Amino acid sequence: MPATTITGREAHSTTHLVYGPPSWLLLLAAAAYNLLAGFEGGGNLMASLVAARAFTLLGAALVLFVGAALGPWLVGTAVAHAIVFSVVALPRLGPTVFFGGVVGAVITLGVCWARSLPTSTSLALIGALAGAGLIAAGPQGVEWSQIWKVFAGMLAALGMGAAGGLLAWAGVRTMLQHAGERIPSALRGLQAVTGLLQGFGYGSNDAGKAMGLFALIGAWRASGGPQTLATGHLAVPAWAVWAAIGTFGLGMAVGGARVAHTVGHGLYPVRAGDALAAQLAAGVTVIAASSWGAPVSSTQTATAALIAAGAARRLSLPRWSLVRQMGLTWAITLPLALVCGAMLTAAVRALV
C-alpha cells in the first residue's frame, strides 16, 4: 500500500496531540475503551462461571482478573503489535486517527452495554479505526488485506469455539456417565482452572489490544519512539500491560454484572458441565490465537462455545431468539463503529 504523507493540518495535529498537553486525551480514550471492554468482555466471561453457580460475581471477577494478569506474561503480547499496524497504520496516520477511532469504539460499546446487548469489543475497535482511517487518508488509509485476515481469524475462532464446545461437552458427558454423584461439585471446582484459562486468553488477546494502544502513546511521547515505530517495531512496556489489565478489571467489577446476567441466565439454564466445556474450549482457542498474534474476540468465542454446549445437551435448550439477537448485534457493531469513528475523526480534524 502506498505510504501516506502527513502534511499541513494533519502534521500540526500530530505534533500538538503527541507532544502537547492534550496527549492526556489519548490515554483517557484508551482507558475508556478498555473500561467498557471490561463491561462487555468481562461480563461475557463471567456469565458461565456465575450461571453454573460455581462462583459469585465477585469470585468470578477475581478468577478472571488473575488469569488476565498472567496471560500477557505467559502467552505474550503479539496482539498488541497487530492492532497498531494491521487495521490502519496508526503510527503513520497519527493521534487524530487514534483518538477518533478509539472514541468511536467507546461510543459503540457504550450503546450496546446500555441496552444490555453482548457485543464484540474487537469488532467495535476495528470498525472505528477503519472509519477513522478512511476519513484521514481515504481507502488507502486502511490495511484492507490485513483486516480481511483479522476477520477470517475471528470467524475461525468462532467456529473453533463452537466445535470445541461440542467436543468438550461430549467428554464431560462421558465422564459423568462413569462417575459418582459427587462429580458435579468437582466440576464446579474445575471451573476455577478453566476460568483462569479463559482469563489467560483474554489477557493475551482482547486486553492485548488495549496494551497496544497504551504502548503506542508511550512510543509517541518517548525520545526516539516515532523513529522506532517507523521500522514497524512496537515495544510493550510493563506499565502498558498493567494499565490494560487494571482498567479491564475495574470495568468488569463495575459493569460486568449486567452482561453476565443476560448471557448466563438468558441463554438457557447453564449447568456445571456446560460451563466447564465452554470455558475449556474458548480458553484453548483464544490462547492459540494469541500465540499466533491473531486478534480475535474472546467474548464471541466464549459465547459460541456456551451455546454449542447447551445445544449438545438438547438442541431446543438455548433461546435461539436471543442467539439471533446477539448475532444481529455483532453484525451491526462493525458498521456502527465505522460510522462513529469516521464522524469523530472528521470533527477532530475540523477543530485542530
Please state, in angstroms and rounded to a whole number, the distance separating the CA atoms of residues 163 and 329. Answer: 22
CB 232 within 8 A of CB 226: no
Query: Quick one: three-class SS letters along 270-305?
Result: CCHHHHHHHHHHHHHHHHHHHHCCCCCCHHHHHHHH
Q: List Cα–Cα distances, 93 to 19, 25, 27, 230, in angstroms.
A: 15, 17, 17, 11
Return averaged pLDDT per consecutive 10 residues of the chain, 352 residues in all: 32 38 82 89 82 81 91 87 86 90 93 76 90 92 82 84 88 70 64 87 89 93 75 88 94 82 78 84 88 81 88 89 85 90 91 76
CB 199 within 8 A of CB 64: yes
Tell me the whole-structure pTM to 2 decimals: 0.85
Q: Which amino acid is at 245?
A: I
Q: List Cα–Cα distances, 213 to 109, 183, 245, 270, in angstroms.
A: 17, 44, 13, 36
- DSSP annotation of 52: T
pLDDT for 183: 57
CB 277 within 8 A of CB 238: no
Q: Which residue has the cell 490502519?
A: 88
- What is the domain partition of the chain in residue ranges? 10-351
pLDDT for 6: 30
Residue 142: count other Cβ atoms within 10 Å of its Cβ.
23
pLDDT for 179: 55
